[in-house]
Each structure stands twice: as structure tokens, then as C-alpha cells.
């Protein structure tokens, strides 16, 4: 899998690592029961601290996507489902509401998102 991290992004590095795993699952680059790289190895490849990768792995474990197996590392335990998008949907709703308060419509919000990504 190709791992990409944007060190200049305002998104936390651990969230970028987590998002890369979820995207890998959705695209089929990662499969159930597949072992992820050891944290130290991935951290070196991404030029981030090992604890950043471990924090991302813990996030994914807490979401039920990863499981840790002693001596076998971190493995994909399940694919994310629609429930994983609930926080994103909540944030989008809040953003739309805020935009409406400023007189913007949904196309304005989409334009702003495209400019920022």
C-alpha cells in the first residue's frame, strides 16, 4: 500500500495515518486479516514519530478496525462501515448550518472545501 502523509496539513498526523488505513480498506488495497507494518518501520518511512503511528493504530483498534496480536502485530479486524462516517456527517451538518448563518448555500460550502483540500 502507498502511504501518504502531508506534514504541512492542519490535520493531525495520527489522523492522517488512520485515514490512510481506512482508505486502503475502502479501495481494496488492504484486506481483512492483513498485517500492517510495524509502527517503527512505518514511522521511519513516513518521517513521523513512532508514537504517532501507535496512536493511529490505537484509534483504529478502538474503532474495531484493527486488532493487536502478541507476536503478530496489528492486523485488520474489520472493514469500516457507515457508522464510522457518523462524526463526519455531524460535522458536515454543523458546517452547513454555520454556512447558512453566513448567507452561504451548499455550493459555496463545496467550493470552500475544494479550495482547502
Per-residue pLDDT at 16 exceeds 60 = yes
Enter the pTM of the model: 0.69
Q: Domains along the chain?
A: 13-79 (1.10.10.10), 84-116 (no CATH)
Per-residue pLDDT at 1 exceeds 70 = yes
Give the pLDDT score at 49: 96
* CB burial readout 4-27, b (16+ within 10 A) else e: ebeeeeeeebbebbbebbbebbee
What's the whole-number mean pLDDT along residues 17-45? 92
Q: Nearest-CA neighbor of 95 among 84, 85, 108, 77?
A: 108
Number of residues that make up the chain: 117
pLDDT tens column, 54-100: 999 999 999 889 999 888 889 999 876 645 666 777 788 899 999 99
What's the whole-number mean pLDDT along residues 33-39? 93
Structure-derived torsion over alpha carbons of residues 86, 91, 92, 94, reported in degrees to the nearest 10: 130
Amino acid at each position: 500500500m502507498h502511504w501518504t502523509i502531508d506534514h504541512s496539513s492542519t490535520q493531525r498526523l495520527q489522523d492522517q495515518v488512520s485515514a490512510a488505513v481506512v482508505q486502503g480498506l475502502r479501495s481494496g488495497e488492504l484486506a481483512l486479516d492483513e498485517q500492517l507494518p510495524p509502527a517503527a518501520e512505518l514511522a521511519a518511512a513516513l518521517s513521523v514519530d513512532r508514537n504517532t503511528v501507535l496512536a493511529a493504530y490505537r484509534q483504529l483498534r478502538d474503532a474495531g478496525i484493527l486488532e493487536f496480536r502478541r507476536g503478530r502485530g496489528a492486523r485488520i479486524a474489520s472493514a469500516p462501515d457507515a457508522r464510522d462516517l457518523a462524526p463526519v456527517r455531524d460535522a458536515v451538518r454543523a458546517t452547513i448550518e454555520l454556512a447558512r448563518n453566513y448567507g452561504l448555500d451548499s455550493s459555496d460550502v463545496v467550493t470552500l472545501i475544494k479550495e482547502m483540500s
